[in-house]
Amino acid sequence: MGTVASTHAETPTGRSIWIDVPEWPGNIAGQHVDVRLTAPDGYQATRSYSLASSGAMPRLQLAVDRLPDGEVSPYLVDDLQAGDMLELRGPLGGWFVWKQEQTAPVQLIAGGSGVVPLVAMIRAHTTSGSTAPMRLLYSVRTPADRFFADELEELDDVTYAYTRSGPADAVIGRLTKERLAASVLPVGAAVFVCGPTGFVEAVASWLVDLGHNPAMIKTERFGGA
Amino acid sequence: MSIFTRGFSGRGRDDNPALPPGQYLTEDFPVLSAGPTPNVETDTWEFTITTETGTVHRWNWEQLMALPAEDVHTDIHCVTRWSKLGTTWRGVSLDTLFADVETEYDYVMEHSYGGYTTNAPYEDLRDGKAWIVFEFDGEPLDPEHGGPARLIVPHLYFWKSAKWIKGLTMMKDDDPGFWEQNGYHIYGDPWQEQRYW
């Protein structure tokens, strides 16, 4: 059980949420929680959300994008307020994670709200003082659609791929295999790809075409196909 | 004491008895794979069942296609909470493939092209409970969804239905496969909500 400490609008449809969880056992970067909402009549809905935070601090951060026909996300983005209680289960997930013991260079590739677990990895990487190269390629529609925009602006190794509109000097349009090739670390890097399934599918198959070993590519996908 | 979430009322939908606890109905077909989709060609495709004596039963694609196939109508339930009701597939029952297999072992490891594994009790793959399918909804199975052929074991959470199926090995013990080593339940019964460790 957690108490919402604060919320912050990230994008026109997305929000980040800090939650105090007194008995939080800690989590690894990339893990997620299940959030369960209960209506007065007992009806329950549970969905998984990646954590943007990691470590043992009893304060977690989620970021949620409101889905048009979502059941839980509209509540979390539009209704939830500081002081509310939220039922959480976690941490969950042992695969799509990054730990400071991993010394391989890391390429992070995000589509939309898929950046959330990758931000957890970036933060963990910074906190640990790891010298492994870590780069982020972030695909979003417009600059306003970036989650954690201010935080990411402070970093050096972030490349943006804007698909609808962006700064005057940016190449606008869907990510292509050629642009991907120009932006990512060489073969041998550990790659984490997260976002809508169509995006992840395209990026993962391009990476394999470019010579990346499939075993070095971890994917986390959401959405239908 | 009932805990409820301030301000949440839900969509007020009717409870659908076909949905296991904690599941919601989806009309689309999500893809949740741990890595890239493997590229598997039918002209080099092979499926094997390996027993404890080292005996290997083998089928290539033509041999699979020559076996009696059936249409399967079933509900599927993903541990990530979506369920899809009334899905239709076409494939060969594992009962057909296990017909000549002699084994004393009670557990099976499913192996996929690309390296994925998942374990299941042998009895959960027999008696009309599992198939190797190559069609979904009347069309050849899409690679994203496990094509050219995948296992389906619909009575368990769908991570137990290995995509890009390559083979089954008999095991003495219920050793954990990929997701079972990464936080997920060893058995995975949706009706008992056996999601995690």
Answer whether residue A222 shows pLDDT above 80: no
> What's the pLDDT at A91?
95
> CA geometry: angle at B54 spanning B52 and B57, to 5°?
100
List the domain range (segments joined by +) for residue A217.
Answer: 106-222
Would you place residue B2 in the very low, low, confident or very high pLDDT band (cuts 50, 70, 90)?
Answer: low
Assess whether A87 and A140 both reside in one domain: no
- Answer yes or no: do B183 and A75 touch at CB < 8 A: no
Q: Is residue B35 part of a domain?
A: no
Average pLDDT over residues A165-170: 92
Q: Is residue B18 part of a domain?
A: no
Assess whether A111 and A202 both reside in one domain: yes
Q: DSSP letters along A83-146, please?
A: T-EEEEEEEE-SSS-B-TT--S-EEEEEEGGGHHHHHHHHHHHHHHT--S-EEEEEEESSGGG-
Name the percent of chain A lying above pLDDT 90: 91
- Answer yes or no: do B36 and A214 touch at CB < 8 A: yes
Assess whether A47 and A116 both reside in one domain: no
Q: Which of A57, A92, A127 is a domain's end point?
A: A92
Assess whether A110 and A86 both reside in one domain: no
Average pLDDT over residues B181-191: 96
| Domain count across chain B | 1
ipTM of the complex: 0.87
Query: Roughly how many angstroms between the first and final C-alpha of chain B, as a whole number?
Result: 26
* CATH code, domain with A21: 2.40.30.10
Interface test with chain B among A85, A207, A219, by most B beta carbons within 10 Å: A219
Q: Which of A58, A92, A126 is a domain's end point?
A: A92
> What's the pLDDT at A224?
54
> What's the pLDDT at B27?
87
Q: Is residue A18 part of a domain?
A: yes
* CATH code, domain with B59: 3.90.420.10
Assess whether A125 and A218 both reside in one domain: yes
| Domain count across chain A | 2
Comparing alpha-carbon positions, the chain A residue that sits nearest to B2 is: A42
Q: Which of A41, A57, A92 is a domain's end point?
A: A92
Q: Is residue A98 part of a domain?
A: no
> What's the pLDDT at A225?
47
Q: Is residue B85 part of a domain?
A: yes
Say how far residue A83 (Cα) sits from the centre of its chain: 25
Distance from CA of B165 to the nearest CA of A (A): 17
Answer whether residue B123 shows pLDDT above 50: yes
Q: What is the mean pLDDT of chain B?
A: 95
Q: Is residue B20 part of a domain?
A: no
Q: Does A211 touch chain B (CB under 8 A)?
A: no
Cα distance between residue A74 and residue A35, in whole Å: 13
Phi, psi of B54 (to 5 degrees): 90, 0
Assess whether A110 and A211 both reside in one domain: yes
Average pLDDT over residues B169-174: 98
* CATH code, domain with A168: 3.40.50.80
